């Protein structure tokens, strides 16, 4: 197992961990969006509650996915903290004047958007999964939880801000994960970067449409 240890101790190995765990979390962001967008379809109340029942009836699938996501999230967090500490040390003295040529705002603020997203995830779970942060939670009626939960303006506001940060995180991460496993090609990388940005905006727009639909009364 020496190879595994030397991989984990190297900066390249840690970047691979970031990429693979990032891919798992990115997959969840897409799956979660597709599942929850059902609320906007005709007869959304029945559909979303049916979907929720389906997930809970397949406990193996649900807990398998939850365990995978939890492990991916923990590894993503620990590795990013280790890399950030290392990077701070490698860059101790700031420039008096610094101009960026290429680095996007999103790419330079991954360690800002990331931690905020983490705290948002904790709140979001307490809000709509376990209910401690919800005014009137009913574990069997996801639809009602959603409508009542997003009826609170600041809860919707926090949700929308978090989606914008997630979009920023994804706009860099979704192409960066390819680079971090050694995939870069002059033909495919530029469109991939574009795709990452389009996906990030699309995902954020999709998620934001849910509280907006509640607040504007389209979903009641």
Partner 1 sequence: MNFTLRIWRQKGPASPGDLVTYPMKDVSPDMSLLEMLDGLNERLIAEGQEPIAFESDCREGICGVCGLTINGIPHGRRRSTTTCQLHMRMFEDGEEITIEPFRAGCFPVVKDLVVDRRAFDRIIASGGFISASTGSAPEANSLPVSKKMSDRAMDAAQCIGCGACVASCPNGSAMLFVGAKISHLGLLPQGQPERYDRARKMVAQMDREGFGACTNTGECEAVCPKDISLEFIARMFRDYLRSVFVERPESGAGGGP
The single residue among 41, 70, 103, 205 that binds partner 1, judged by CB under 8 A, is 103
Report the alpha-carbon distance of residue 194 to residue 189 in Å, rounded. 9
Residues 155-174 interacting with partner 1 (rule: CB under 8 A): 172
Say how far residue 65 (Cα) sits from the centre of its chain: 15
Say how far residue 168 (Cα) sits from the centre of its chain: 10
Site string for partner 1, 16-35 (x = CB under 8 A): x-------------------
Residue with Cβ nearer partner 1 (38 or 176) = 176
- Does the protein bind partner 1 through residue 180 (CB under 8 A)? yes
Stretch that binds partner 1, among 7-15, 30-38, 125-133, 138-146 (CB under 8 A): 7-15
Report the alpha-carbon distance of residue 7 to residue 72 in Å, rounded. 17
CB 13 within 8 A of CB 20: no
Token pair of 61 as six digits: 């699938």
- Does the protein bind partner 1 through residue 15 (CB under 8 A)? yes
One-character DSSP codes across 107-132: HHTHHHHHHHHHHHHHHHHHHHTS-T
- Does the protein bind partner 1 through residue 187 (CB under 8 A)? no
- Does the protein bind partner 1 through residue 102 (CB under 8 A)? yes
Sign, CA torsion 212/129/109/68: negative
Collapsing DSSP to helix, strand or coil, 23 comes out as helix
Residue with Cβ nearer partner 1 (163 or 176) = 176
Residue with Cβ nearer partner 1 (92 or 217) = 92
Q: Which residues bind partner 1 (CB under 8 A)?
A: 2-3, 6-7, 9-16, 83, 86-87, 89-104, 107-108, 110, 172, 175-176, 179-186, 189
């Amino acid at each position: 197992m020496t190879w595994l240890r030397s991989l984990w101790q190297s900066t390249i190995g840690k970047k691979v961990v970031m990429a693979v765990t990032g891919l798992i979390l990115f997959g969840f962001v897409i799956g979660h969006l597709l599942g929850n967008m059902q609320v906007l379809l005709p007869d959304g109340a029945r559909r979303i509650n049916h979907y929720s029942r389906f997930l809970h009836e397949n406990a193996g699938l649900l807990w398998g996915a939850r365990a995978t996501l939890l492990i991916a999230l923990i590894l993503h967090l620990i590795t990013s903290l280790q890399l950030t500490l290392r990077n701070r040390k490698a860059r101790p003295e700031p420039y008096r004047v610094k101009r960026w040529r290429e680095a996007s705002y999103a790419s330079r603020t991954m360690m800002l958007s990331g931690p905020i997203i983490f705290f948002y995830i904790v709140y979001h779970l307490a809000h709509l999964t376990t209910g401690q942060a919800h005014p009137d939670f009913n574990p069997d009626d996801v639809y009602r939880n959603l409508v009542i939960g997003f009826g609170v303006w600041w809860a919707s506001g926090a949700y929308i801000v978090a989606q914008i940060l997630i979009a920023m995180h994804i706009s860099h991460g979704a192409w960066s994960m390819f680079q971090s496993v050694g995939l870069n090609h002059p033909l495919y990388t530029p469109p991939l970067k574009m795709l990452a940005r389009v996906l990030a905006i699309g995902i954020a727009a999709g998620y934001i449409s849910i509280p907006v639909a509640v607040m504007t009364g389209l979903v009641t």
